[in-house]
A and B are shown apart, each in its own frame.
Chain A
Amino acid sequence: GPIILQTYRLIAEYKKSSKHELSMKAGDLVEVVEKSTSGWWFCQTESHRGWLPATYLEPLEGPDESEDQEPNYEGELYQTTKPYKAEQEDEISLEQDVTIEVIHKLLDGWWVVRKGEQTGYYPSMLLQKTGEKR
Chain B
Amino acid sequence: SIREPPTNPPPRPPAEHRRKRP
* A and B assemble together: yes
* In contact, B9 and A11 (Cβ under 8 angstroms): no
Shortest CB-to-CB span from B4 to chain A, Å, is: 7
Q: How many residues of A sit at the interface, in one of the four size bands?
A: 35 or more
Known contacts A11-B14, A90-B21; A109 and B2 CB within 8 A of each other: no
* In contact, A36 and B5 (Cβ under 8 angstroms): yes
* In contact, B22 and A21 (Cβ under 8 angstroms): no
Interface residue ranges, A against B (CB under 8 Å): 11-12, 17-18, 20-21, 34, 36, 38-40, 42, 49-51, 53-56, 84, 87-91, 103-104, 108-110, 112, 119-121, 123, 125-126
List 8 interface pairs A-B (beta carbons < 8 Å), by A numbering.
A11-B17, A34-B3, A38-B5, A53-B10, A112-B22, A121-B12, A121-B22, A123-B10
Given contacts A88-B12, A88-B18, A89-B21, 15 further A-B contacts (CB under 8 A): A12-B14, A12-B16, A18-B7, A20-B6, A21-B6, A38-B9, A42-B5, A49-B2, A50-B2, A84-B9, A108-B10, A108-B13, A120-B22, A121-B22, A126-B9
